Each structure stands twice: as C-alpha cells, then as structure tokens.
Amino acid sequence: MTASPSPTPAPALWVLLDATAAALQAVRAGQSGTAALDTVDASLRPGVRALLFQALRHLGRAQALRRALAPRQPPARVDALLCTALALAWNPEQAPYAPFTLVSQAVEAAKRSPATRAQAGFVNACLRRFLRERDALVAATDRDEVALWNHPAWWIARLRRDHPWQWQQILQANNAQAPMALRVSKSKSTPAQYCQALAAINMEAYPDGDSGVVLRRPLPVAQLPGFADGVVSVQDAAAQMAAPLLLQGLDARQPLRLLDACAAPGGKTAHLLEWAQALGAPWQVTALEMDASRAARIHDTLRRLRLQADVRVADAGVPADWWDGQLFDAILLDAPCTASGIVRRHPDVRWLRRESDIAQLAVLQARLLGALWPLLKPGGRLLYCTCSVFRAEGQEQVQAFLAHNTDARLAPSPGHLLPANPDKAGALGDNAAGEHDGFFYALLHKAA
C-alpha cells in the first residue's frame, strides 16, 4: 500500500512578509498589484496576496508611522518591509496576527533577506519602538488626512469636491474588502437555484438583482458549482447592470447588431450573449480589444461559457481599421478610466494613479464617444460607462458630449453609483450594505 504524501508545511510568516515587502516595493515603483503578485512563487501567492492587499489598504497610515519612527527615508526595500509590518500591525483589532508576532517575524525577514540584512538592526529598533509607543504614535498620525483615510491627498480632495455629501462614505467603502459577486447564466439557472447549489456544499450566499449572487465568503472559482460548464461567472453587481440597461426595450425578434467597444476581459460581452441565448434572439455581437493578450481573455471567457462573438483586436477609436460600414443597433462603451470605483477589489489603484491621469483619460473617453456615435443607427442607443466615481469621467463627460451632439438624448440612467451610497436613485435593490463597486452609467439615445 502506497503511503499518502505528507501535507506541505505552511510557509513561515517571515517568508510571507519578505515576499509581501518585495511586492509592495514593486507597486510603489509603478507596477500593478497583479503584475507584482505574478512574480511571487505560486505556493506563497495566496498568503502574500492577502497580506499585500491589507497593507495597501492601510499604506497611508503605515507611511505616516514610518516617518514618525524614521524621518529620514531608508532604502526602498527596507522602507517597504517597515511599511508592510506597520500596515498589518498598527490596529490590533484588524491585524492578521498579533502585533508582537508581526514585528518579530518582520525583523526575522530583515535578518534573512540579502536585500535588508545590513539594515536589520534599524528595522528591529523602529518596530520595537512602535510596539512600546503604539498608542501615542497612532494618535499623532490621526492628524494626517492621508493616514486617516489611506488615500493620496489629491484623491481625497477630488472626492470631497465631486461628492461633498458622500466622500467619507466612499473612502470608508474603499478600505473594506469587497464581497465575491457572481452572475448566473440566464439560460442555465437562476440566482435562487444557484444559491441552493451553494448551500449543498455549505456555502452561504444570497440572490442580488436579476442574475446576481453574493457569497458570504469568497471561494476559488474551481470550486464553484457549474463554473467550468458556464453556469456562473464572477462579476460585480454594478457591472451586471450594463447588459440589461443597454438591451431594455430592444425587439429581441430582430437580427440586431451589437458592439462591445472595449470588451476585455469579456464579462459584459458574455452577459449580452447570455441574454440573447435566453431569449433565442438572432443577435450579432462584435467585441473589440486593442491589446492582443487581453483579447485572448475574451476568447477564454466565451469558450468556457460556450458563447460566440466576433472578437477583433482593434482600437475602437479608429473605425476605419475594423468597421464594415453597417450601423449598429446598440453600442456598449465601457471606457478606459482611472478605475477609482473598484478600489475595494484593487487597493493598489489609489497609489498608482496620478491626478493628471483623470484629464488624460477624459480626453480618451471623449475621443471614443466621438468615434463611435456615428456608427450608431438613428433610433439606436449607446451605453457609456466607467468604473469610476470621478465626475470628470462620468457626469461631466456626458454633459460635454450632449452639448456637442444635438441628436443625442440622455435616457433615464443610474448616473454615478457610489460604493457606499445605496440610496442613490437607480442603485441596485437590496443594497443596504453597498454591495457593489463604484460605477457610472449614461444611456444615450440617438434621434430617429
């Protein structure tokens, strides 16, 4: 009889902290959190991801504490290790391990890593002082707005201007962990049925909206019932609004031409096709993505869901390169943006963005709107959306478009959906806990 293999021992905490500090250093150097985690050993990645995301959610506080402990900035890797430990340990109620354990293991990481070994004594002195004076240090950093809200100063000021009544709620929501939300394929199941399938494997969930399900705790996609068979997809509740908003009022019996102009990774394209499949509608869906590697993800998404679309690698803003001259009945433009509405899921975004990005992206959004509007049939509709809470990428962008296009009319639309504003007109139902990301939606009708 063959002996079963012994379980792989869990990695030491100092190993995880060292890898987390390396990832944080990469993010501070301008790399996305996803790219930084891709370089981490697969056996460490789940633990490092959890620690990195928590560190990023408390980085403003950690940086203020590090400055109080060491006004002169240390080398980048040493600074990253200090900020990692301080971000994880400053609040004992939220710390993943006891603060004393985090400090001792961070010091161990400093001793063992060639990148920090020479500064191990400095790391030890700073973190031991933090343990002794934690309450006084935290109280002193409370006066620092960046430490208090864990967002860059310009981001806080922009939200205060754009949303004077909700800016604090938005920042608080951004610092929380987002729930895992799913979209159930309309032709294969219902939210209620899928919740029963989850209950059968002891997973708590509840229906949310027309096709949504929210898990009480996250689950690897491979363990989701029916995931491999296309029964369900991972998609936030706010993003699930796109397909029904665009399709409402269209005659499903007609052979409609639909365009998803910035389609990767394919979630909204798939949702459009699931509606067509459920209705037995003869619709043609074209999906564009200018980056070939991201376009491959659309193919992967559609393959798993057993759906078909005309996927093209092309710039939606240059129709001469891809358009066949036939007008579309409906266009979905999920435009490139700052991603300021999905900070709960991507806590690195707030530290990677610069305020100048907003104006640059607004120019790109306006270019895409201007290029795609002539491709729409009279009487057709274009749904403009961004996963942003900044008005320059939402309300102000659409107002400028309407001022320059007299054949466009703004239909009733949700407008800005804020992650902590469940009372917003047009927000999703049963949203008392703000269970969706920040988004903007504007449905534009073209005069017949």
**SS3 call for 357:** helix
Q: Does 61 share its domain with 123?
A: yes
Per-residue pLDDT tens over the stretch 72-84? 999 999 999 999 9
Residues of the chain above pLDDT 90, percent: 88
210 pLDDT band (50/70/90 cuts)? confident
Q: Does 264 share its domain with 409?
A: yes
Which is it for strands 328-334 and 376-386: parallel, antiparallel or unpaired? parallel
Evaluate whether 337 touches 365 at the Cβ level (below 8 Å): yes
Q: Is residue 157 part of a domain?
A: no
Q: Which residues partner with 383 through β-bridges?
A: 332, 443
Per-residue pLDDT tens over the stretch 368-420? 999 999 999 999 999 999 999 999 999 999 999 999 999 999 999 999 999 85
Residue 433 has pLDDT above 70, yes or no: no
For every residue of 405-422, DSSP letters joined together read: -TTEEE-S--EEEPTT-T
Across the range 226-251, mean pLDDT stands at 93
Q: What is the domain count for the chain?
A: 3
Across the range 228-238, mean pLDDT stands at 95
Start-to-end C-alpha separation, the chain: 77
Residue 428 has pLDDT above 70, yes or no: no
pLDDT of 155 reads 98
Q: Does 301 share its domain with 394?
A: yes
Q: Does 130 share its domain with 198?
A: no
Q: Is residue 2 part of a domain?
A: no
Q: Does 87 share its domain with 202?
A: no
pLDDT of 90 reads 97
Question: The domain containing residue 228 runs over which residues?
Answer: 179-235
Q: Does 400 share its domain with 437?
A: yes
Alpha helices in 70-98 (DSSP H): 76-89
Across the range 312-329, mean pLDDT stands at 97
279 pLDDT band (50/70/90 cuts)? confident
Q: Is residue 240 part of a domain?
A: no
- Range with the lowest mean pLDDT among 4-8, 250-254, 264-268, 308-312? 4-8
pLDDT of 4 reads 53
pLDDT of 250 reads 87
Q: Is residue 4 part of a domain?
A: no
Q: Does 390 share its domain with 290?
A: yes
- Catalytic, 337? Answer no
Q: Does 260 share its domain with 226?
A: no
Q: Does 250 share its domain with 215?
A: no
pLDDT, mean over the chain: 93
Where is pLDDT greater, at 183 or 429?
183
9 pLDDT band (50/70/90 cuts)? confident
Token pair recorded at residue 302: 């559609």
pLDDT of 254 reads 85
Cβ atoms < 10 Å from Cβ of 143: 9
| Cα torsion angle, 69, 145, 24, 30, sign | negative
427 pLDDT band (50/70/90 cuts)? very low
Per-residue pLDDT tens over the stretch 135-189? 999 999 999 999 999 999 999 999 999 999 999 999 999 999 999 999 999 989 9
Q: Does 253 share its domain with 319?
A: yes
**SS3 call for 321:** helix
Is residue 325 left, alpha or beta, with left meaning phi > 0 and alpha meaning psi from -120 to 50?
A: left
Across the range 117-143, mean pLDDT stands at 97
Residue with tokens 């619709």: 283
Q: Does 187 share its domain with 72?
A: no
Per-residue pLDDT tens over the stretch 78-114? 999 999 999 999 999 999 999 999 999 999 999 999 9
pLDDT of 389 reads 97
Residue 249 has pLDDT above 80, yes or no: yes
Spell out the residues 6+ positions from residue 204 whose beta carbon is closer than 8 angstroms to its own.
198, 215, 216, 217
Residue 426 has pLDDT above 60, yes or no: no
Q: Is residue 163 part of a domain?
A: no
423 pLDDT band (50/70/90 cuts)? very low
Per-residue pLDDT tens over the stretch 28-53? 999 999 999 999 999 999 999 999 99
